Amino acid sequence: MKNILTISGIRPDFIRMSEVFRRLDECSNINHQLIHTGQHFDKMLSDVFFDELDIRSPDFNLEIGGPGNEHFHQNAELTVKLIELIRKQNLDPDLILFLGDSNSVLVAPSLAKEGYKVGHIEAGMRSYDRRMLEEINRTVCDHSSELLFTYHDDYTENLVREGIPRHKIYNVGNTIVEVANKFKEDITKTQKKRDKILLDIHRPENFKCPKRLQRIFDIVNSLSRSYSIPCISLRFPRTYDFISKFDINTHSIEPVELMSYKTYLQAVYDCKFIISDSGTAQEEPALFKTPVLVPREFTERPLSYHTFCSRKLWLDTLSVPDDVINYLDTAEQKMNSKWLGIGDTSVKILKSIINE
């Protein structure tokens, strides 16, 4: 019997780990303990996804989130609380498993120093933009891990170039495919509407820069008028705080509250296209043939660009370039989501853990 701890704390991690949680729980050779860090504590960022994706209640919640609790507070508190929990509860893990690049993964070095074996799903992802907190987080976790699960061969080669032995690396595909597939058949029963634009801006490189933030809304407004369709914008609290602070002109773009996962997928399917600075928002839209414009200088998902699933949106011009319009008008016929895998990732991860 192997003791496996999974550590998750934010909305995307719960979604992407949901099938891995289920596989671990169902395996008779594994004792699985699910630990919620509490980084996301709002219902629309946490609880709703447990209900909708049928994730069981966590065994422990470390409650490190909260208004005004900055990243260094969270990292320090998580390190102390997690290691003390492991000791006091005599959890004796054979493997501690993380996914992604949130602040939660920064506890990995401390766990490795204590002699615990760490595994990382979504390993090898690189934008090579060290201004991104996520780039620091994912790199540190990779180099503290003994088991590294990559989404495709490009990420595997990133790790090998950084000196990580190939025998520690398993190419398993992207966890999001099997999660989205649970809803895809029901969502795609109706005809794709293409009746709106979805705006998703929540990275500090955009919302903390008034010039970039205003330019994004101006470009979206221009595209909305060009296609004669409205735009809705996900109301991320920090983004809209800075919109208010900088007195950004949001034009007629309608803010909408954060959505449950199925509602979000339905919106993704029905959109004409998406403008998003989210890394994960380059994945689900590819499965639903919805193009994505990415207002960032760098990406950790270059295959999304190469397969027409997304396109970089430069913010150095007020007008919308013709090649952007051409991409939006032709991408749906060219898009190829094979780079995400075939939807058997949780099975591959489970087999790798059992055989270790």
153 φ/ψ sector (left φ>0, alpha ψ -120 to 50, else beta): alpha
Q: What is the pLDDT of residue 75?
A: 84
Q: Which two tokens stand for residue 228?
A: 């004669």
Distances (CA, A) of 34 to 21, 31, 43, 292, 301: 8, 10, 18, 33, 28
Answer yes or no: is pLDDT of 43 > 90: no
Answer yes or no: is pLDDT of 103 > 90: no
Answer yes or no: is pLDDT of 40 > 70: no
Answer yes or no: is pLDDT of 255 > 60: yes
Q: What is the DSSP string of 140-161?
A: HHHTT-SEEEESSHHHHHHHHH
Among 43-57, 68-82, 305-319, 323-337, the range of highest mean pLDDT: 323-337
Q: Which residue has tokens 């934008």? A: 127
Answer yes or no: is pLDDT of 72 > 90: no
pTM for the whole structure: 0.93
Q: What is the pLDDT of residue 74?
A: 80
* Domains in the chain with CATH codes: 2-174+341-355 (3.40.50.2000), 184-340 (3.40.50.2000)
